[in-house]
Amino acid sequence: MTQGQIAIDAEALFKDLQRGIQPWVSAQTHFVGVTSGGAWMAERLARELGLPTPIGTISSAMHRDDFEQRGLSNGGQTHLPFEVEGADIVLLDDVLFTGRTIRAVINELFDYGRPKRIRLAVLVDRGGRELPLQADFAAARFALDGSQSLALALRDNGQFVFSLESRDAI
């Protein structure tokens, strides 16, 4: 690790997030993960917490305000195997930064119905918000340089790991 980099233990943060959202979980709770890191988290949390309801995955692609520049990503499609209308939803994402992805996925959720409640849980809130959105639970909060990118990866053994890269290298 070079000077100025941050060591981030994604597994420890995942365990913190699991403990933090445990009080929210009931038989009526639905986890929805933002593709791709949030979807991995939702799957694992549902399994480890014994959530009896099906989980969903949601893509921000169709509601992004930068769609013309980005187009459709290969990150996956929205799949919500439950009735969104009146649902108690825990929306999961790996990193909260500007808030634009969360705005887009909330718009996508409302295309399927009006949830009773949406709570947002993230592994890392890195600040830098451009929209007035915040997480109900963040396992960690810290600022990164604007030229840095933080991404969650899933290892073959099912463990999470973060990569921290300069945007120049992306």
- What is the tens place of the pLDDT at every residue in 68-105? 555 555 557 999 999 999 999 999 999 999 999 999 99
Which band of pLDDT confidence, cut at 50, 70 and 90, is reported for residue 107?
very high
Task: Answer whether 0.95 is exceeded by the pTM.
Answer: no
Cα 18 from Cα 10, distance rounded (Å):
12
Q: For position 28, what pLDDT does the model report?
A: 94
Residue 116: which residues within 8 A CB-CB, separation 6 or more? Answer: 86, 87, 88
**How many C-beta neighbours within 10 Å does residue 152 have?**
22
Q: For position 6, what pLDDT does the model report?
A: 59
Contact 124, 78 (CB under 8 A): no
Cα–Cα nearest to 84, from 103, 110, 119: 110
CATH number at 27-68+75-169? 3.40.50.2020
